[in-house]
A and B are shown apart, each in its own frame.
Chain A
Amino acid sequence: MLIEVGHFALVLSLVISVLLIVVPSIGLYQNKSSLAQLAKPLVWAQSFWITIAFFVLMSAFLTNDFSVKYVAENSNTQLPILYKASAVWGSHEGSLLLWVFVLSLWTVAVSIFSKRIPSNLINQTLIVLGAISFGFLLFLLFTSNPFERLMMPPIEGRELNPLLQDFGLAVHPPMLYMGYVGLAVPFAFVLSALIRGQLDSTWIRWTRPWTLISWSFLTIGITLGSWWAYYELGWGGWWFWDPVENASFMPWLVATALIHSLSVSEKRGAFKQWTVLLAIGGFSLSLLGTFLVRSGVLTSVHAFATDPTRGLFILIFLFIVIGGSLVLYTWRSSLLQQSNPFSLLSRETGLLINNILLVTAMLSVLLGTLYPLILDSLNLGKISVGAPYFNAVFVPIMIPGVLALAVYPYVRWKKDSALRVFNLLKLEWVCIVLLTLLSWVLITKNIFVLISIALFIWVINHVGALFLRRLKAKSKLSMSFLGMVVAHLGIAVFVLGATVTTQLGIEKDIKMSLGETQTIAGYDFVFNGVSPHSKDNYSGFIGDISVFKNNKIVTQLRPEKRLYQTGMPMTEASIDPSITRDLYVALGESLEEGAWSVRIYYKPLVRWIWLGGLMIALGALLAAVDRRYLMRVKS
């Protein structure tokens, strides 16, 4: 009966979302505040039932209730308890339920942390969020019901995709969804402002902290995904330009542009039209990502849903959201005309350049992701757009962006002179040139690594000097400023880590016999053999490799080859991590006479990639708690 309670809870939340759209709207339209104020309780009620539904499904997994089709298809009695819980979002239906659950959490958060926001704006925002929730609940209940029963339940369930039986899966999707779905909040603020025709200072101010928080989650989600792919897929890569990765990266790029554009709109009253478009674009790309993953048009590690009906539903929803928003934008565009002027050399221009580069980068990723799909759908042949395209197009667009992000914080608002900026920074520039030359002489002759070192020094030097100048001038350091410093340093750390590990990493695919030694980057890898191994729901082999440096043992690595019940073989890499390098070993196939094929990687600075990502996310969180967003307002 519990399953029916969960199912009914979802139905109730759908009906409550209809009430959320209708009743407070009547209140706002007819100036009946008692009805308008009902938005918050309706949000709480809706969220309560969605939470109940979510945990009912989780309990069905934990109690092995195979009368639920979704549980029977994604779990079995042998699955470890952690993966039973995370299997809730291991496939399409549960993943959609997680989406709706996360959206309800965001909506409740907006309703609670809204004391400083005018009632009418917040109620209208909750109505828009309710409308989005209505669309997804409809989708969930009518095309992807996770509570569907099996009339004749099997005695044992199937296997959860072994790739997803990992701690990374338990945390990566919820984080990513927090970011993905979080972009609905700035979208809802913008749409509310457009619906009300009240495009004032208030919506701009309150859109920014919510954008920062959701962007921070999105950054953490993408970073975790990259980390998971690195250790779980056994290829030693950290980014594959997989279409589904791109689907999360595109909204990230637009949201990055949005937080910068919002800072100009907030402080100087410029870029308002652009900001509105970016907020609509960010959430639309998040929906596009959902369409790409859920419709089955993509085939990848992530695309576990292949149902055209679902795709059609999301496509229609996507058209309604984007089309409706753009119609609203056109209708209200006269209210967005006013923009305060600024000169060619000003901080506003710098942020505009940042926006242009980020949006161009997003468009290049979008083109590379959609082009093969469009060709295929028009029967013009199958092509694959991979890393060579993305690296060739994306990287050159982003290099000027990294250069600009270090310099523009020195440029004044509204108008500045090139001579003043030059005089201010000439010492830094001399220092940067000298340090880069020193790196060329002492560290590397690899041009790509040298460029990344130069960029690293460039950002560190500028951002560090700016920070020291503020300290020296005894200025009050705002959280917003600290957030900017940390996030920009994070980008420098990421750029260096990504380039060094790509350019200087060593990879060897070799056959190793018992007792054989292979030397890579000064490390001796000794193969001690392989032994059978079994646990919970898999059996397989575990290798034993000792790593020495200068005849001293560094670590003992134990890569695994697992065979799950589905028969799917899985490689579990063994990694010796450190801040300067990773030693990574993956077991390949069994060869003749006890020999095995083994993949050995030496990955310098690979951890810097994720460290950089976390710093960027931390920077956004710091900026989101700036004093200006915590100020008290008396009515």
Chain B
Amino acid sequence: MIFSWQHIIMLILSCLFIVWFLYRPIKSGLSDADSNIAINKHRQEELAIDINQGLIDDEQSQVAESEIISTLANELKDSNKDSIAIRPMNWSISIFIFLISLSIALYSQLSPKVLPSSQDLSEPVSMIESIEKLQAFLEENPSDFQALKMMGLAQIGIGNADESIEAFEKAYLINPEDIDLLLQYASAIAATQEGQFDGKSKELIEKAFNLNPLSVQVLYFSGIVAAHEGNLNGAIEFWEKARYLTPVDHPDRNIIEEAIDTVSNLQVK
């Protein structure tokens, strides 16, 4: 758990603020009876206005008047009980203990175990170092989806396709609908099949397509699957859609155009 002086100040401020009002309680305002008397008086005044404006006839206004009076009579219960005094010190201590212990307990459950340091953002680390860091992190957080995904990517980056697939499989079990994961997982499997997108890798790409048929990456990979199956027209169709969705100056556009050109030339030949 990450806990700092800021957290301590926040806790102390909260406790002091609340406890202050135990020693200096806000004065009680109106009682129910005072409020009901005032409101029903006002209702009587409104009734008089309604009579003047012809919004109720004389006979009915008398009925309404008596209704207001009987309502008030019903509402005026004897509720004037004297307030019981409390011992502010006991309550202060209880509130202090409760607030501090429960806040820290909850926060220790919810907060991250380690913080991403500024070094993570500024200094690039080697792939091996990344994997070591990730392994250490995953030992403490074996169900961290992002870390598993990172691990899969890092392992494939150094050519460990089997370890990569293992990490992706674990991530897949946690969130089977993450588009990036589906594509990366499919690529890792394809890497063990001489680049062929069939079997499970094809299923993963089809799943990604069902989830987001407008994703450029998904369309690109769907085109590859189609091309591998010999469906060149289908592949071109997918890539044309991907090209349409990619901004003119986007670097991925060249890759897509290249793929289209290659397959088109194949068709011509």
User: A42 to chain B: which residues have CB within 8 Å?
Assistant: 18
User: A37 to chain B: which residues have CB within 8 Å?
Assistant: 21, 25-28
Residue of B nearest to A150 (CB): B146
CB of A628 within 8 Å of the partner chain = yes
In the bound complex, do residue A269 and residue B84 qualify as a contact, i.e. CB atoms below 8 Å apart?
A: no
A35 to B134, CA, bound (A): 50
Residue of B nearest to A420 (CB): B57
How many chain A residues sit at the interface, stated as a range, is 35 or more
CB of B255 within 8 Å of the partner chain = no
A415 to B88, CA, bound (A): 57
Query: Chain B's interface: helix, strand, loop or mixed, by majority?
Result: helix
User: B20 to chain A: which residues have CB within 8 Å?
Assistant: 41
Residues of B within 8 A of A (CB): 2, 4, 6-7, 10-11, 14, 17-18, 20-22, 25-32, 34-36, 38-40, 42-43, 46, 49-50, 52-57, 60, 63-64, 67-68, 71-72, 74-75, 81-86, 88, 91, 95, 98-99, 102-103, 106-107, 110-112, 114-116, 120-121, 130, 134, 137, 144, 146-147, 150, 177, 214-216, 242, 244-250
In the bound complex, do residue A149 and residue B112 qualify as a contact, i.e. CB atoms below 8 Å apart?
A: yes
CB of A412 within 8 Å of the partner chain = yes
A196 smallest CB distance to B (angstroms): 9
User: A634 to chain B: which residues have CB within 8 Å?
Assistant: 34, 38
User: B10 to chain A: which residues have CB within 8 Å?
Assistant: 5, 8-9, 12, 49
In the bound complex, do residue A200 and residue B67 qualify as a contact, i.e. CB atoms below 8 Å apart?
A: no
A623 smallest CB distance to B (angstroms): 14
User: B103 to chain A: which residues have CB within 8 Å?
Assistant: 8, 11-12, 15
A14 to B103, CA, bound (A): 8
In the bound complex, do residue B247 and residue A38 qualify as a contact, i.e. CB atoms below 8 Å apart?
A: no
1/0 contact string of A3-35 vs chain B (CB within 8 Å):
011011101101110110001000000111111
Residue of A nearest to B252 (CB): A567
A69 to B144, CA, bound (A): 13
A169 to B56, CA, bound (A): 48
CB of A120 within 8 Å of the partner chain = yes
A446 to B137, CA, bound (A): 70
In the bound complex, do residue A19 and residue B4 qualify as a contact, i.e. CB atoms below 8 Å apart?
A: no
CB of A205 within 8 Å of the partner chain = yes
A287 to B51, CA, bound (A): 42
Contact of B71 among A1, A67, A201, A563 (CB under 8 A): A201
CB of A402 within 8 Å of the partner chain = no
- 11 CB contacts below 8 A, A to B, read A12-B10, A31-B84, A34-B22, A34-B85, A37-B26, A41-B21, A45-B14, A117-B35, A121-B32, A150-B146, A532-B248
With A118-B31, A565-B247 given, is the CB distance from A40 to B26 under 8 Å?
yes
In the bound complex, do residue B32 and residue A120 qualify as a contact, i.e. CB atoms below 8 Å apart?
A: yes
In the bound complex, do residue A202 and residue B247 qualify as a contact, i.e. CB atoms below 8 Å apart?
A: no
Which residues of chain A from 396 to 439 have any CB-CB distance to chain B below 8 Å in the complex? 412-416
User: A4 to chain B: which residues have CB within 8 Å?
Assistant: 2, 4, 6-7, 111, 115
**4 more CB-based (< 8 A) A-B contacts, given A31-B84, A151-B150:** A8-B7, A151-B112, A412-B56, A567-B246
In the bound complex, do residue B111 and residue A67 qualify as a contact, i.e. CB atoms below 8 Å apart?
A: no
In the bound complex, do residue A141 and residue B54 qualify as a contact, i.e. CB atoms below 8 Å apart?
A: no
With A200-B75, A476-B49 given, is the CB distance from A19 to B99 under 8 Å?
yes
Contact of B35 among A1, A118, A268, A540 (CB under 8 A): A118
User: B57 to chain A: which residues have CB within 8 Å?
Assistant: 412, 415-416
A193 smallest CB distance to B (angstroms): 11
In the bound complex, do residue B91 and residue A118 qualify as a contact, i.e. CB atoms below 8 Å apart?
A: no
Contact of A202 among B11, B32, B74 (CB under 8 A): B32
User: A155 to chain B: which residues have CB within 8 Å?
Assistant: 121
User: A117 to chain B: which residues have CB within 8 Å?
Assistant: 29-30, 35
CB of A267 within 8 Å of the partner chain = yes
With A14-B106, A15-B106, A267-B43 given, is the CB distance from A200 to B36 under 8 Å?
yes
User: B2 to chain A: which residues have CB within 8 Å?
Assistant: 1, 4
A145 to B81, CA, bound (A): 45
In the bound complex, do residue A201 and residue B36 qualify as a contact, i.e. CB atoms below 8 Å apart?
A: yes
In the bound complex, do residue A568 and residue B214 qualify as a contact, i.e. CB atoms below 8 Å apart?
A: yes
In the bound complex, do residue B150 and residue A152 qualify as a contact, i.e. CB atoms below 8 Å apart?
A: yes
1/0 contact string of A107-126 vs chain B (CB within 8 Å):
00000001111111110000
Residue of A nearest to B154 (CB): A152
User: B30 to chain A: which residues have CB within 8 Å?
Assistant: 116-119, 633, 635
The 7 tightest CB contacts between A and B, nearest first, are: A33-B83, A567-B245, A414-B60, A633-B38, A41-B21, A567-B216, A200-B75
In the bound complex, do residue A7 and residue B107 qualify as a contact, i.e. CB atoms below 8 Å apart?
A: yes
In the bound complex, do residue B39 and residue A340 qualify as a contact, i.e. CB atoms below 8 Å apart?
A: no
In the bound complex, do residue A18 and residue B102 qualify as a contact, i.e. CB atoms below 8 Å apart?
A: yes
1/0 contact string of A612-635 vs chain B (CB within 8 Å):
000000000000000010010111
A152 to B43, CA, bound (A): 66
Residue of A nearest to B71 (CB): A269
